[in-house]
A = this chain, B = another copy of it.
Amino acid sequence: MNIGEIAKRAGVSRSTVSYALTGKRPVSEATKSRIQAVIDELGYRPNASARALKEGRTRTIGLVIPPAGRRLTDMQLGFVASVVDAAARADLDVLLSPSGGEHDRSFERVVTGRRVDGVVLMEIRLEDDRVARLLQSGLPFVGIGRTGHPEDMSWVDIDYETLIAKCVHHLADLGHRHLALVNRNAELVAAGYGPGHRAQAGFDRAIAERGLHGVHVCCADDAQAGQSCLGQLLAQHPELTAIATINEAAVAGMYRALAEAGLSVPGDFSIAGVAAQHWAENLHPPLTAADVPADELGASAVELLIQRISDPDTPHRHLLVAPPISLRSTTGPVRPRV
A222 to chain B: closest residue by CB: B282
> Given that A77-B77, A95-B93, A96-B96 are known contacts, is A68 also in contact with B88, CB under 8 Å in the complex?
yes
> Which of A53, A136, A222 has the most chain B CB atoms inside 10 A of its CB?
A53
In the bound assembly, the distance between CA atoms of A114 and B58 in angstroms comes to: 13
B68 and A81 within 8 A (CB): yes
A288 to chain B, nearest CB (A): 18
Residue of B nearest to A223 (CB): B282
- Which of B45, B69, B84, B278 lies in contact with A98, CB distance below 8 A? B84
Q: Assess the A113–B46 pair: CB atoms within 8 A.
A: yes
Interface pair A85/B113, CB less than 8 Å apart: no
Instruction: For residue A105, give the distance in angstroms from its CB to the closest CB of chain B.
Output: 6
| Residue from the set A68, A98, A105, A106 with the largest chain B CB neighbour count within 10 Å | A68
Q: Does A178 contact B (CB under 8 A)?
A: no
Cross-chain contact A284 with B53 (CB below 8 angstroms): no
Q: How far is the CA of A72 from the CA of B108 in the complex (A)?
A: 29
Interchain CB contact under 8 A, B282 and A113: no
Q: How distant is A260 from chain B, measured CB to nearest CB, in Å?
A: 11
Write out the residue numbers on chain B whose beta carbons fall within 8 Å of the beta carbon of A72. 77, 81
**What is the interface residue range for chain A against chain B?**
35 or more
Contacting residue for A93 out of B77, B106, B137, CB 8 A: B106
Please, what's the 1-or-0 string for A88-112, where 1 marks a CB less than 8 Å from any CB in chain B? 1001011111100000011011101
Q: Return chain B residues, CB-CB under 8 Å to A98.
A: 84-85, 88
A252 within 8 A of B: yes
A105 to B91, CA, bound (A): 8
Q: Which residues from chain B contact A88 at a C-beta distance below 8 Å?
A: 68, 98, 105-106
Output the least CB separation between A263 and chain B (Å).
16
Collect the chain B residues with CB atoms within 8 Å of residue A47's CB: 53, 113-114
With A43-B112, A53-B53, A69-B85 already in contact, 5 other A-B pairs whose C-beta atoms are closer than 8 Å: A49-B49, A71-B81, A84-B98, A85-B98, A93-B96
20 residue pairs bridging A and B, Cβ less than 8 Å apart = A43-B136, A43-B137, A45-B112, A47-B113, A48-B113, A48-B115, A49-B50, A49-B114, A63-B96, A68-B84, A68-B85, A71-B278, A84-B98, A85-B98, A88-B98, A93-B97, A96-B96, A224-B282, A252-B284, A256-B284
